[in-house]
Chain A
Protein backbone atom coordinates (compact mmCIF):
# COMPACT_ATOMS: atom_id res chain seq x y z
CA UNK A 1 0.00 0.00 0.00
CA UNK A 2 1.64 3.21 -1.15
CA UNK A 3 0.92 6.91 -1.05
CA UNK A 4 -0.51 6.95 -4.53
CA UNK A 5 -3.75 4.99 -4.82
CA UNK A 6 -4.16 2.46 -7.60
CA UNK A 7 -6.95 4.42 -9.29
CA UNK A 8 -4.76 7.53 -9.24
CA UNK A 9 -1.85 5.64 -10.80
CA UNK A 10 -4.01 4.94 -13.84
CA UNK A 11 -4.86 8.62 -14.20
CA UNK A 12 -1.28 9.78 -13.62
CA UNK A 13 0.02 7.27 -16.17
CA UNK A 14 -2.43 8.70 -18.67
CA UNK A 15 -1.22 12.25 -18.07
CA UNK A 16 2.45 11.26 -18.19
CA UNK A 17 1.94 9.66 -21.60
CA UNK A 18 2.16 13.21 -22.97
CA UNK A 19 5.82 13.33 -21.91
CA UNK A 20 8.28 13.92 -24.76
CA UNK A 21 11.79 14.11 -23.31
CA UNK A 22 12.98 12.38 -20.14
CA UNK A 23 12.65 14.33 -16.89
CA UNK A 24 14.79 13.83 -13.83
CA UNK A 25 13.63 14.57 -10.30
CA UNK A 26 16.59 15.27 -8.03
CA UNK A 27 15.45 14.99 -4.47
CA UNK A 28 17.23 16.10 -1.31
CA UNK A 29 16.18 14.73 2.02
CA UNK A 30 17.51 14.43 5.52
CA UNK A 31 17.24 11.61 8.02
CA UNK A 32 15.01 12.66 10.90
CA UNK A 33 13.70 15.40 8.64
CA UNK A 34 10.32 15.93 10.32
CA UNK A 35 7.52 13.75 9.04
CA UNK A 36 7.57 15.34 5.60
CA UNK A 37 11.00 14.14 4.50
CA UNK A 38 10.22 10.43 4.37
CA UNK A 39 6.78 11.03 2.90
CA UNK A 40 8.07 13.22 0.09
CA UNK A 41 10.74 10.69 -0.85
CA UNK A 42 8.24 7.81 -0.87
CA UNK A 43 5.74 9.80 -2.92
CA UNK A 44 8.35 10.73 -5.56
CA UNK A 45 9.61 7.15 -5.69
CA UNK A 46 6.12 5.89 -6.47
CA UNK A 47 5.62 8.66 -9.02
CA UNK A 48 8.89 7.93 -10.83
CA UNK A 49 7.89 4.28 -11.19
CA UNK A 50 4.80 5.23 -13.19
CA UNK A 51 6.64 6.45 -16.31
CA UNK A 52 9.89 5.21 -17.82
CA UNK A 53 10.56 8.77 -18.98
CA UNK A 54 10.66 9.90 -15.37
CA UNK A 55 13.57 9.13 -13.06
CA UNK A 56 14.46 9.96 -9.49
CA UNK A 57 17.79 10.60 -7.80
CA UNK A 58 17.90 10.99 -4.04
CA UNK A 59 20.62 12.76 -2.08
CA UNK A 60 21.19 13.32 1.57
CA UNK A 61 21.15 16.98 2.50
CA UNK A 62 23.83 16.59 5.15
CA UNK A 63 26.15 14.13 3.42
CA UNK A 64 26.02 14.92 -0.31
CA UNK A 65 27.49 18.39 0.03
CA UNK A 66 28.69 18.58 -3.56
CA UNK A 67 25.18 18.04 -4.96
CA UNK A 68 23.68 20.39 -2.38
CA UNK A 69 26.06 23.10 -3.59
CA UNK A 70 25.54 22.27 -7.27
CA UNK A 71 21.79 22.73 -6.99
CA UNK A 72 21.92 25.55 -4.44
CA UNK A 73 19.63 23.76 -2.02
CA UNK A 74 19.30 25.51 1.35
CA UNK A 75 16.41 23.62 2.93
CA UNK A 76 14.72 20.22 2.69
CA UNK A 77 12.76 18.41 1.48
CA UNK A 78 13.80 19.83 -1.89
CA UNK A 79 13.06 18.55 -5.38
CA UNK A 80 14.70 19.76 -8.58
CA UNK A 81 12.70 19.20 -11.76
CA UNK A 82 15.11 19.04 -14.68
CA UNK A 83 15.67 17.66 -18.15
CA UNK A 84 19.12 17.25 -19.72
CA UNK A 85 20.13 20.40 -17.87
CA UNK A 86 19.13 22.22 -14.70
CA UNK A 87 16.36 24.59 -15.78
CA UNK A 88 16.11 26.36 -12.43
CA UNK A 89 12.94 24.72 -11.11
CA UNK A 90 12.75 23.77 -7.43
CA UNK A 91 9.98 22.55 -5.18
CA UNK A 92 10.48 22.75 -1.42
CA UNK A 93 8.22 20.62 0.73
CA UNK A 94 5.91 17.67 0.27
CA UNK A 95 4.09 17.96 -3.06
CA UNK A 96 0.70 16.75 -1.87
CA UNK A 97 -2.87 17.62 -2.80
CA UNK A 98 -3.14 20.47 -5.28
CA UNK A 99 0.64 20.79 -5.37
CA UNK A 100 0.96 17.22 -6.59
CA UNK A 101 -1.07 18.17 -9.62
CA UNK A 102 1.10 21.26 -10.07
CA UNK A 103 4.18 19.02 -9.96
CA UNK A 104 2.73 16.85 -12.73
CA UNK A 105 2.12 20.00 -14.79
CA UNK A 106 5.72 21.07 -14.23
CA UNK A 107 7.03 17.64 -15.27
CA UNK A 108 4.97 17.71 -18.46
CA UNK A 109 6.00 21.25 -19.34
CA UNK A 110 9.70 20.56 -18.77
CA UNK A 111 9.37 17.35 -20.78
CA UNK A 112 7.86 19.22 -23.72
CA UNK A 113 10.56 21.90 -23.43
CA UNK A 114 8.14 24.76 -24.07
CA UNK A 115 7.34 27.41 -21.45
CA UNK A 116 4.00 28.14 -23.13
CA UNK A 117 4.51 31.88 -22.61
CA UNK A 118 3.26 34.53 -25.03
CA UNK A 119 5.75 35.62 -27.70
CA UNK A 120 5.95 39.13 -26.25
CA UNK A 121 6.77 37.78 -22.78
CA UNK A 122 9.50 35.59 -24.25
CA UNK A 123 11.05 38.57 -26.02
CA UNK A 124 11.03 40.76 -22.92
CA UNK A 125 12.48 37.95 -20.83
CA UNK A 126 15.38 37.66 -23.27
CA UNK A 127 16.53 41.11 -22.13
CA UNK A 128 17.13 39.72 -18.67
CA UNK A 129 20.85 39.04 -18.37
CA UNK A 130 21.40 38.80 -14.64
CA UNK A 131 20.29 36.30 -12.02
CA UNK A 132 16.65 36.51 -11.02
CA UNK A 133 15.38 34.51 -8.07
CA UNK A 134 11.64 33.98 -7.69
CA UNK A 135 10.33 32.30 -4.56
CA UNK A 136 6.64 31.45 -4.70
CA UNK A 137 4.87 30.48 -1.50
CA UNK A 138 2.12 27.94 -2.07
CA UNK A 139 -0.10 25.64 -0.04
CA UNK A 140 -1.19 22.11 -0.86
CA UNK A 141 -4.89 22.66 -0.15
Chain B
Protein backbone atom coordinates (compact mmCIF):
# COMPACT_ATOMS: atom_id res chain seq x y z
CA UNK B 1 0.00 0.00 0.00
CA UNK B 2 1.22 3.49 -0.78
CA UNK B 3 2.90 5.59 1.90
CA UNK B 4 0.25 8.25 1.41
CA UNK B 5 -2.46 5.74 2.39
CA UNK B 6 -0.39 4.59 5.38
CA UNK B 7 0.01 8.20 6.54
CA UNK B 8 -3.76 8.69 6.29
CA UNK B 9 -4.38 5.57 8.38
CA UNK B 10 -1.93 6.77 11.00
CA UNK B 11 -3.14 10.36 11.34
CA UNK B 12 -6.72 11.62 11.02
CA UNK B 13 -5.55 14.95 9.63
CA UNK B 14 -4.24 13.24 6.53
CA UNK B 15 -6.39 12.60 3.51
CA UNK B 16 -4.83 10.48 0.77
CA UNK B 17 -6.25 10.27 -2.75
CA UNK B 18 -5.01 7.87 -5.39
CA UNK B 19 -5.91 9.24 -8.80
CA UNK B 20 -5.85 7.09 -11.90
CA UNK B 21 -3.95 9.39 -14.25
CA UNK B 22 -5.42 8.32 -17.58
CA UNK B 23 -8.97 8.99 -16.40
CA UNK B 24 -8.35 12.53 -15.22
CA UNK B 25 -6.38 14.30 -17.97
CA UNK B 26 -7.40 17.75 -16.68
CA UNK B 27 -5.68 17.10 -13.34
CA UNK B 28 -2.68 15.56 -15.06
CA UNK B 29 -2.37 18.83 -16.98
CA UNK B 30 -2.98 21.02 -13.96
CA UNK B 31 -0.30 19.29 -11.87
CA UNK B 32 2.05 18.59 -14.80
CA UNK B 33 2.16 14.86 -14.19
CA UNK B 34 4.73 13.50 -16.64
CA UNK B 35 5.42 10.25 -14.83
CA UNK B 36 3.83 8.27 -12.02
CA UNK B 37 3.78 8.08 -9.13
CA UNK B 38 3.63 11.81 -8.54
CA UNK B 39 2.36 13.05 -5.18
CA UNK B 40 0.82 16.50 -4.83
CA UNK B 41 1.05 17.89 -1.30
CA UNK B 42 -1.62 20.35 -0.18
CA UNK B 43 -2.13 21.50 -3.73
CA UNK B 44 1.29 23.17 -3.64
CA UNK B 45 4.41 21.03 -3.33
CA UNK B 46 5.03 17.71 -4.96
CA UNK B 47 7.14 14.57 -4.86
CA UNK B 48 8.10 12.77 -8.04
CA UNK B 49 8.64 9.02 -8.02
CA UNK B 50 8.76 6.65 -5.06
CA UNK B 51 10.82 7.59 -2.02
CA UNK B 52 11.84 5.60 1.04
CA UNK B 53 9.58 6.12 4.06
CA UNK B 54 11.85 8.54 5.95
CA UNK B 55 12.58 10.74 2.95
CA UNK B 56 8.94 10.81 1.90
CA UNK B 57 7.92 11.87 5.41
CA UNK B 58 10.59 14.56 5.50
CA UNK B 59 9.53 16.01 2.16
CA UNK B 60 5.85 15.93 3.08
CA UNK B 61 6.40 17.64 6.45
CA UNK B 62 8.67 20.25 4.89
CA UNK B 63 5.80 21.36 2.68
CA UNK B 64 2.95 20.71 5.09
CA UNK B 65 4.46 22.45 8.11
CA UNK B 66 7.01 25.02 6.99
CA UNK B 67 6.31 27.05 10.15
CA UNK B 68 7.16 24.12 12.41
CA UNK B 69 10.46 23.67 10.59
CA UNK B 70 11.30 27.29 11.30
CA UNK B 71 10.44 26.88 14.99
CA UNK B 72 12.84 23.98 15.13
CA UNK B 73 15.57 26.07 13.63
CA UNK B 74 15.26 28.63 16.41
CA UNK B 75 14.76 26.29 19.30
Contact = CB atoms under 8 A, between A and B. Distances in A.
Contact of A134 (B21, B31, B39, B68): B39
A93 B28 CA distance: 13
A129 B68 CA distance: 11
A111 to B, nearest CB: 11
A130 B68 CA distance: 11
Contacts of A72: 15
Interface string B14-37: 111111111110011001010011
Contacts of B12: 87-88
B36 A137 contact: yes
B10 A122 contact: yes
A116 interface: yes
A138 B18 contact: yes
Contacts of A128: 11, 13-14, 61, 64-65
Interface of A: 34, 36, 72, 75, 77, 87-95, 99, 102, 105-106, 109-110, 113-118, 120-122, 124-140
18 contacts: A75-B27, A90-B17, A91-B18, A92-B18, A109-B9, A117-B6, A118-B53, A121-B57, A126-B11, A127-B68, A128-B13, A130-B65, A132-B42, A133-B42, A134-B17, A136-B39, A138-B20, A139-B21
